[in-house]
Structure 1
Amino acid sequence: MSVTTTLANVPDAPPAYLSVCFLGRFATSVGGMPVERWRAGKSRSFFQYLMLHRNRVMTRDQLRDALWPEAEWHASSSSLKVACCGARSTLGASKNVEGAGSPIRLLHRDGGYLLDADDTWCDIEEFRDRVHEGMQHRSHGRADQAAESLTRAIALYHGDFLAGQDEDWIAEAREYYRSLALGALDVLRSTAMERGDSDEVVALGQRTLQIDALHEPTYQDLIRVAGLLGQPEQAMRWYQLCERRLHRLIGVEPSTDTRRTLNQVLNGRGRPLASGPRGTRTGAGRTRA
């Protein structure tokens, strides 16, 4: 999933001197002005890597392995210096701790580099905090607070981490944030099932499949909801969609659990779905209060 992200369409993003969005299309603003161009070939990647690891010293070896994985290095290599200088110039960052009043400091320290910045907002940090907050609420039995925090987190997930960029360090971070999103959606979908809110289950299911088209627990819930609403044909269509995608993308068949869920629906083993707080949809254009 790839959605164009701008700082303006991120909900509840507070004003900050340095604002960064990683989820979806990368976007940065400094002092309220969007950064349109980056100087030097790797200056943007250099900043992205340091921002991901903000307030931590990243060694030369870590940066070289991440940004130039195939390159051979020599004592005279200047690529890191060039990338750092380009990032400093683009961001108006200082190279000193007490640098000319700049809120952004790109420091050379302990044989590596460190990004230190005041007045900063970053979508992945906010997203991660809201997911962890929601899971903590859930572990303490605070279902409403958990749903609120997790819903805010998912609203920030405009697309995969640095969509369109394919370096290994990006792929690793992408899977981490994708797993957080899927975990949050699983909890929200389970909560909607418990409330009997079929509309919400379907909406959350579709949102999940935008992130992971092969997520079988989601197909199982969608099949189950169709059965509880007395729609076996819809249950079969969800199963067939799951089957086609699994076969086409990874060459496997649906799991035993998914087949069992479909068979239970087709054999009429279920119960009417309880009406949720917003009503439940029983057919196209019809809602049961």
Structure 2
Amino acid sequence: MVSVNETAPRGAHLALLGGFSLTVGDAPVPVPPASARLLAFVAVSCRGAVPRALVAGSLWPEAPEHCANANLRSALVRLRDPGRSALEVTSSAVRLAPGVSVDYHRARALAALVLDPDGSPLHRPRFGATTVLDLSADLLPGWYEDWVLQEAETWRQLRTHALERLAADFMADRRHPEAVIAAHAAVQADPLRESSRGTLIRAHLAEGNATQARREFERYARRLRVETGVGPPDRLRRLVAGDRGGLRGR
């Protein structure tokens, strides 16, 4: 039986964006691969307790139930302090200990705030280039388990929408450099997404960089032809040609 922890070590932080790491204070904590996946799964599954059966079945889907449960016990045992104290473990469930901060939780909350239809993010000074950076990292890149890929796709869609919204708000406030940065981050998240590429083109045009807008359009056109066999839509052509309303009515 793994003991239940009452609190996480002071300053415990779990990073999932751009890669996995666990730190306590400023010190990195070594975590074995299976234990890292356990921590990450609990962190992305929900904010509350996760049934042990769900953890074992999700992390070791090909293993018989008794083997998956044994693997879970092993991953818990190998998670030495202070890493072990980042979890609360009972006979039936696993959860993050109170006080563990997770960059992914913060970034999701930030994206939701940006997209809040009742909010006014345009006039919130904390929304700027730093906000873009907070929304620019992939979730656990290089991890290919089904549960990671599904969550990573959900995050990609959420942050892309938030970055497009930020770019539009920055343009409305004539903060053109920040608009370009936000739109570029949206394109990086989904290079084939038409709305992101159109937002970036509009940001360049709003900044007075028609040449850069044309280059962006041509870059998009080449990539579309290579990866899909089709050319860019006419509305983007009209936008680059000078019709600033080329993306309206979508």
Alignment TM class, shorter chain as reference: 0.7 to 0.9
Deviation at 1:158, TM superposition (A): 5.3
- What are the residue-to-residue correspondences of 1:94-243 with 2, within 5 Å? 104-110=86-92, 113-136=93-116, 138-141=117-120, 143-145=122-124, 148-149=126-127, 152-157=130-135, 159-227=137-205, 233-243=211-221
From the two aligned structures, give the one with the greater helix fraction: 2
- Distance verdict in 2 for CA 1:128–1:77, change over 3 Å: closer
Aligned position for 1:260: 235
One-letter amino acid of the structure 2 residue matched with residue 108 of structure 1: T
Give the structure with higher Rg (CA).
1
Tell me if structure 1 keeps the 8 A contact 2:201–2:216: yes
Q: Distance in 1 between matches of 2:73 and 2:56?
A: 11
Structure 1, residues 55-88: CA drift from partner, whole Å, max 9, x if none? 533234422332112223347962121112112x
Aligned position for 2:62: 70
Q: Distance in 2 between matches of 1:166 and 1:76?
A: 18
Deviation at 1:200, TM superposition (A): 2.9
TM-score normalised by length of structure 2: 0.79
Q: Distance in 1 between matches of 2:87 and 2:202?
A: 53
Aligned position for 1:24: 18
Q: Secondary structure at the match of 1:181?
A: helix
Structure 1, residues 173-218: CA drift from partner, whole Å, max 9, x if none? 1122222221221111111222334333322222222222122123
Q: Distance in 1 between matches of 2:53 and 2:100?
A: 27
Q: Which runs of 5+ in 2 are unaligned?
A: 1-8, 246-250
After superposing the two structures, state which structure 1 stretch, 64-73 or 123-132, moved more. 64-73
Q: Secondary structure at the match of 1:249?
A: helix
* Number of aligned positions between the proteins: 237
- Distance verdict in 2 for CA 1:226–1:50, change over 3 Å: closer
One-letter amino acid of the structure 1 residue matched with residue 71 of structure 2: S
Aligned position for 1:247: 225
- Distance verdict in 2 for CA 1:269–1:149, change over 3 Å: closer
TM-score normalised by length of structure 1: 0.69
Counterpart of 1:86 (choices 74, 78, 91) is 78
Q: Distance in 1 between matches of 2:53 and 2:98?
A: 27
Q: CA RMSD in A?
A: 3.1
Structure 1, residues 240-279: CA drift from partner, whole Å, max 9, x if none? 211222233344432x3xx22322542x4459xxxxxxxx
Q: Which runs of 5+ in 1 are unaligned?
A: 1-14, 94-102, 272-289
Q: Secondary structure at the match of 1:28?
A: strand
Q: Distance in 1 between matches of 2:111 and 2:130?
A: 9
Q: Distance in 1 between matches of 2:203 and 2:30?
A: 46
Q: Distance in 2 between matches of 1:231 and 1:30?
A: 45
1:44 aligns with 2:45: no
After superposing the two structures, state which structure 1 stretch, 67-76 or 173-182, moved more. 67-76
Deviation at 1:152, TM superposition (A): 4.8
Structure 1, residues 32-52: CA drift from partner, whole Å, max 9, x if none? 4211342xx522211211222
- What are the residue-to-residue correspondences of 1:274-289 with 2, within 5 Å? none
Q: Secondary structure at the match of 2:90?
A: strand
Tell me if structure 2 keeps the 8 A contact 1:50–1:114: yes
- Distance verdict in 2 for CA 1:43–1:263, change over 3 Å: same
One-letter amino acid of the structure 1 residue matched with residue 64 of structure 2: E
